[in-house]
């Protein structure tokens, strides 16, 4: 969160989460949490919002959930996140908790909520069943569309972070494998 001696805005994505189609929401201030409707909310952090979309509460893995809206593993924070995180007390697990940071933003009325609908995919791959579901989803999309999901090199090229020539050099240097073949096919011939 520190860049060139100053605090920056930050996007935090938990390492066991997979998303498709998500873009940075238009955060006007503070922080933003992203929710997704699930059938088993007690397995997640849960967000409760009123009819105007204003956040009422956040609770981590509640026994009796107030909603079916799970807080996904992607968070958007403004440049006060570092300072706020440093002011938190460690939990009973001895860790600084993301939910506590989000509650800090909520207490100062600086937390916004964004809900993903079924046009997006979200997988919390923290257990074998979810990992398998995510793998099958990715395989299905890649097989049907002849495109790569999560291809860092291809996305960097599409976003204009590297040139087409740089992209081709990167692919050429890859060892021969199915990833290299699929990248070449989906971006150069797809």
* Token couple for 6: 């100053």
Q: For the chain, what is the radius of gyration of the CA atoms?
A: 19
Asked if the 2-124 domain carries CATH number 3.40.50.720, the reply is no
> Taking the chain (190 residues) in consecutive chunks of 10 residues, what is each chunk's mean pLDDT?
60 89 78 93 94 91 94 93 94 91 96 88 92 93 82 87 92 88 74
Confirm if 135 and 129 have CB atoms less than 8 A apart: no
This prediction has a pTM of: 0.77
Query: What does the alpha-carbon distance between residue 120 and residue 135 come to, in Å, rounded to a whole number?
Result: 16
Query: What does the alpha-carbon distance between residue 178 and residue 121 come to, in Å, rounded to a whole number?
Result: 24
Per-residue DSSP letters for 10-27?
EEEE-TTEEEES------
Q: Which residues partner with 76 through β-bridges?
A: 11, 32
Predicted pLDDT of residue 72: 94
């Amino acid at each position: 969160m520190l860049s060139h001696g100053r605090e920056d805005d930050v996007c935090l994505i938990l390492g066991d989460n997979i998303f498709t189609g998500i873009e940075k929401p238009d955060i006007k201030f503070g922080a933003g949490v992203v929710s997704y409707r699930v059938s088993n909310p007690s397995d997640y952090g849960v967000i409760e919002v009123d009819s105007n979309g204003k956040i009422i509460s956040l609770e981590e893995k509640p026994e009796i959930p107030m909603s079916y809206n799970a807080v996904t593993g992607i968070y958007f924070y403004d440049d006060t996140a570092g300072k706020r995180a440093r002011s938190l007390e460690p939990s009973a697990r001895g860790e600084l908790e993301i939910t506590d940071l989000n509650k800090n933003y909520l207490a100062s009325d600086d937390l916004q909520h964004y809900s993903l609908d079924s046009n997006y995919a979200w997988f919390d791959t923290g257990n074998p069943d979810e990992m398998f579901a995510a793998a099958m989803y990715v395989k299905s999309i890649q097989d049907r569309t002849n495109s790569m999901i999560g291809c860092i090199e291809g996305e960097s090229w599409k976003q204009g972070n590297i040139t087409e020539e740089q992209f081709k050099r990167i692919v050429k240097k890859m060892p021969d494998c199915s990833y290299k073949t699929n990248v070449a096919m989906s971006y150069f011939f797809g």
